[in-house]
Structure 1
Amino acid sequence: MSVVRRDDTGAVPTIGGVAVPDLSAGLGAVVWVAAVAAGALGTVPRALALAPLVLVPLGVGMAGHGPFPGPAGRCLRAAVWCQPVGALLLTASLALDVVGPVAAALAAPWLLVTGLLGLAALARTAERGGVALPETAIDAGLAYVSVAAVALLLYHLDITFYFGPTIILLTAVHFHYAGFVLPVVTGLTGRSGHLDSPLWRSLVGVILAGPAIIAIGISFSPLIEVVAVGGFTVAVALFGWFVLLRIAPTRSRRQAVLLGASAVALPLSMALALGYGVATFSGLALGLDIATMVALHGSLNAFGFALLGLVGWRLEVP
C-alpha cells in the first residue's frame, strides 16, 4: 500500500488510491458509533464529536478538489495528515467529561489541525487576490473552524468568562456546523456552476458573516442576536430553496435525494434558532430551552443538514 503525494494543485494525499480524508471519515464514523453505543458521549459532546471525526474530513477532502497552490496546498496536506489523530484525541477529551489539564491537552492537537486549515485559507485568499464566491465560502469555513477549537480548549480549561460552561461548549458546536459545514456546503453548491445572481451573492455574504455576528450577539446583545439570527434564518432558508429547486434536480437521483433532504432540514433548524432568540430577547415562554434546542435544532443540523449534505456532495464532487 503506497502513499501518493499530489502536486501543488492542492489535491489531497491518498493511501492505496483512496483519499486520506475519506479513510479518516470512515474510521471516524466507526469510532463515533462505538462511543455513542458505549454511552461515552453525552448529548452535546455527541454532536460535537461527529464534526471532527466525520464532517470535517469530508469537507476538507472535497475542498481539496479546488485549487490549493503553493503554501496553501502544503498547509492543507499537513492538516489532512494530522486530522485523524486530532479528532480521536478530541473525542477522548469529550469522553472524559472533566475540566482540567488532561482534557485540555487531549483537545489541544485539534487547535493545530484547525490552525493549519486557517493558514491554508489565508494563503489561498492571498494567492487568489480576488473574490470568487465559491472559493471564498470554502476558505471562510476553513478559517471559522479554528474558533471552535479555541472554544473547546477554553471549556476544558474552565475559562468561561461571564458565560456558563454550556455556552462555551455550544460555541464549539456552533463554529463546527454554522462556521465550517455551512460555508463549505455553500462553496460546493456554488462550484456546481448553476447559480449566479445578485440574490445568490447576497445570500452567500449573509451566510459567511452570520456565524460571527450571531456569536457577537450572544456575547453582548440579545437585540443583535435576534436581528442576526433573523437575517441568517432568512438567508439559509433561501439557500435551502435554491438547493432544493435549482441544484438537486440537476444531480443524479441518489445525490438529489440527499441534497434535497439536507436542504429541507436547514431552514427547519434555523427557524428553531430564531424562536430561541426571540424567546431570549422577549422573555416569552416558547418551550425552547437549551435542552430542547440541543435535541431538536442540534439533531436537525448535525444529522439532517450537515451529514446528509456532505455525504450527498461526496457522491459527485463539483
Structure 2
Amino acid sequence: MTVLVGWILALAMVVVVPLGLRLVDDDRRRLGPVGQVWPFAGLLGGLSLLFDRGDAFAVALACCYAAVTAWLAVLALLRLLRRRSLAPVEIAVLTAMVAPAVAASSLIAERGGWELLGFGMTTQLLTVAHFHYAGFAAALVAGLTASRAPSPSSSVAAVTVPVGIALVFLGYFTGDGVELAGAVVLTAGMWLLGWTVWRDVAPSARGRMTRALFGVSAAVLAVTMLLALSWAAGHVWDAVPHLSLTWMAATHGLANALGFALCGLLAWRRVQRAGDTPATNVMSA
C-alpha cells in the first residue's frame, strides 16, 4: 500500500497541484512564481518518499516542499484580506490554496518518523493524500464549477466539499463518529459536484475530448465516494461491509487521483486554452 500511496502522492505534488494553479486567473501575477517553482518542489517532495523513514535527507526534501506550500497559504491569506469575501467560490478556492500546507506538515512528520499530534505513520501518510486530492483538487474543481455554472447546487457543493474535508480532519482528533459525519457531508458535496459537472458543465464544453474528460471525472465520484462512505461507516458499525485500507488505496485513492482529479483538471485546462474562460475570470487571484 505504501508504494502505491507514494506514487499517488507524487502525482499530486508534481502534476495535479501545478496544473490546478494554472486554472486560477492571476491578474496580479502573484501565483506565477509559485506555479513555476511548484513542479520542482513537488519533485523534491516525491523524492522524499524514496528514502527510509527517519532519514534526515528525506525530512529536508519534505521541508523544501513545505516551504512552497506555505508560500501558497500566505497568498491565500492575502487574497482573503484583499477580497474580504466568503462567497461559496471563495471558500472553495481558499480551501484549495491552504490544503497543501496541511498536507506538507503531515509529510514532514511522516518522513521524520514523528507522531504528529499522536497520529501514526499510516494516518499521516493518508492525511497527505487527503489534503492534496480532497483538500486541493476537489475544492478547486468545486470552485471552478460554481463559477462557470452558478446555481444553488454548485454553490452548495462549493461549501459542503470544504466543510466535509474539515470534518473528516476533525474526526481524526475526536473519533470515528465525527469522521463519519464528515464523510457524509463530503460525499454529499462530491456527488452534488459530480452531478453538476455532468449536467451543466460537460454538455456545454467545446470538443469531444473535453466533454469525455468531464464525464469521466464526474462519473468516478459516484463509485469512489460510496467506498469512502462505507469505509467510514464500517469504523463506526462493524456490520457495515468495507474494504481494507490497502484496497481503499488501490480503488478509491487511485480512481480519485486519475479519474477525478487528473481528468477533471485536464478538462478545465482545455476549457481555459479554448478561450472559454468565464470560470477563471471569476476566480481571479
After TM superposition, the score normalised by the length of structure 2 is 0.90
Which residue type is aligned with residue 130 of structure 2?
Answer: H
Aligned to 1:126: 81
Aligned to 2:3: 42
The runs of 4+ residues in structure 1 deviating greater than 4 Å are none
Using the alignment, how far apart are the partners of 2:14 and 2:264 within structure 1? 16
Aligned length in residues: 270
Shift of 1:135: 3.8
Q: How does 1:160-239 map to 2 (within 5 A)?
A: 160=115, 161-192=117-148, 194-197=149-152, 199-239=153-193
Shift of 1:180: 0.3
Bigger shift: 153-162 or 307-316? 153-162
Which residue type is aligned with residue 167 of structure 2?
Answer: I
Aligned to 1:61: 22
Task: Give percent identity, aligned residues only.
Answer: 33
Shift of 1:219: 2.7
Q: What CA deviation, in whole Å up to 9, does each residue of 1:137-193 have, x standing for no partner?
A: 22220111110000100101111243321111010000000000011111222232x
Using the alignment, how far apart are the partners of 2:52 and 2:12 within structure 1? 18
User: RMSD of aligned C-alpha atoms?
Assistant: 1.6
Which residue type is aligned with residue 94 of structure 2?
Answer: D
Higher RCO (CA < 8 A, seq sep 6+):
2
Aligned to 1:99: 54
Using the alignment, how far apart are the partners of 1:115 and 1:302 within structure 2? 23
Aligned to 1:316: 271
Using the alignment, how far apart are the partners of 1:95 and 1:287 within structure 2? 30
Structure 2, unpaired ranges of 5+: 278-285
**Conserved? CA contact 1:240–1:266, under 8 Å:** yes
**Conserved? CA contact 2:109–2:124, under 8 Å:** yes
Shift of 1:121: 1.1
Shift of 1:285: 6.2
Using the alignment, how far apart are the partners of 1:297 and 1:184 within structure 2? 19
Shift of 1:270: 1.0
Describe the shift of the 1:226–1:132 C-alpha distance in structure 2 as closer, same or farther (beyond 3 A): closer
Using the alignment, how far apart are the partners of 1:208 and 1:135 within structure 2? 11
Aligned to 1:261: 216
**Conserved? CA contact 2:18–2:38, under 8 Å:** yes
Alignment partner of 2:108 out of 144, 153, 157: 153
Aligned to 1:11: none
Q: Does 2:101 match 1:140?
A: no
Using the alignment, how far apart are the partners of 1:97 and 1:269 within structure 2? 31
Shift of 1:133: 3.0
Describe the shift of the 1:279–1:116 C-alpha distance in structure 2 as closer, same or farther (beyond 3 A): same
Q: What CA deviation, in whole Å up to 9, does each residue of 1:62-104 have, x standing for no partner?
A: 11x254x3xxx43x23322321221121111112243232110
Which residue type is aligned with residue 19 of structure 2?
Answer: L
Shift of 1:296: 0.7
Alignment partner of 1:85 out of 6, 20, 40: 40
Structure 1, unpaired ranges of 5+: 1-40
Using the alignment, how far apart are the partners of 1:290 and 1:210 within structure 2? 20
Which residue type is aligned with residue 177 of structure 1?
Answer: Y
Using the alignment, how far apart are the partners of 2:235 and 2:134 within structure 1? 20
SS in 1 for 2:236: helix
Shift of 1:300: 1.3
Using the alignment, how far apart are the partners of 1:131 and 1:171 within structure 2? 25
Using the alignment, how far apart are the partners of 2:46 and 2:199 within structure 1? 37
Using the alignment, how far apart are the partners of 1:155 and 1:298 within structure 2? 19
After TM superposition, the score normalised by the length of structure 1 is 0.81
Using the alignment, how far apart are the partners of 1:54 and 1:255 within structure 2? 18
Using the alignment, how far apart are the partners of 2:103 and 2:179 within structure 1? 19
SS in 1 for 2:49: helix
